[in-house]
Amino acid sequence: MGHYAQSSECYDLLYGAQKDYVAEAGLLAELVRAGGRCPEGTFVVGDMTHLSVPGRYHVIVSLFSAIGYVRTEEGLRDTVLGMRCHLKYGGLLLIDPWFEPGDLTDGFVSALSEEERGRAVVRVSRTTIRGDVSRLEFEYLVGTPDGIERKSEVHELGLFTQGQMEAALGAAGFTGVERIPKVLRTRGVYVARTGS
């Protein structure tokens, strides 16, 4: 079962209030226009840890800290190498990273709630840190006129330093690796190019 499989129907309700998708899309479009060519966009959805898509592309984008789900440094290296293999010469990779070691608090608890017509969703999360992996326990309460449903999920994401990210990108053959701070969120965005 994939990540957010239990909470997919309330994902946009909870995160839509936290993220400005339109503004983020505009920022990403600016980065793509500045460093990539995308005359007719082809978009493919797949598993980034075993990336297998037809052809090569001008731009590959990994958003909302998805790179953390590769969990290990070896997984990070394999993933960015797979992405590199699917980019054209002069192609652009954009990665929205997860937190670095030391950025999260072990035992941190938070709650998020949103309501819309006839539905209320509450998400309570607890973060624990074990080595270089963060473990997020999510409990959801989804209330509708028909009743209240409880759902649970656990997500584990690797905590990679800027040095580890840059080393993995460099080892995969990317050039011009740059971390642009405070784009999308405080963690910034990694921009890497093939060939340049």
List, by residue range, all CATH 3.40.50.150 domains of the chain: 8-100+160-194
State the amino acid at position 160 in one-letter form: F
Name the architecture of domain 108-157: Single Sheet (2.20)
Q: Which CATH class is domain 8-100+160-194?
A: alpha beta
List every span in the chain annotated with CATH 2.20.130.10. 108-157
β-bridge pairing 189-194 and 87-95: antiparallel
N- to C-terminal Cα distance for the chain? Answer: 39
Instruction: For residue range 112-122, list pLDDT tens digits in order.
Output: 999 998 999 99
Q: Of 109, 108, 155, 133, whose CA–CA distance to 11 is shortest?
A: 155
Position 144 scores a pLDDT of 95
Query: Which among 187, 125, 184 has a CA at the least distance from the CA of 160?
Result: 187
Q: What would the mean pLDDT of 154-169 be, rounded to a whole number? A: 97
What is the reported pLDDT for 1? 42
pTM for this structure?
Answer: 0.80
Distance CA 174, CA 167 (A): 10
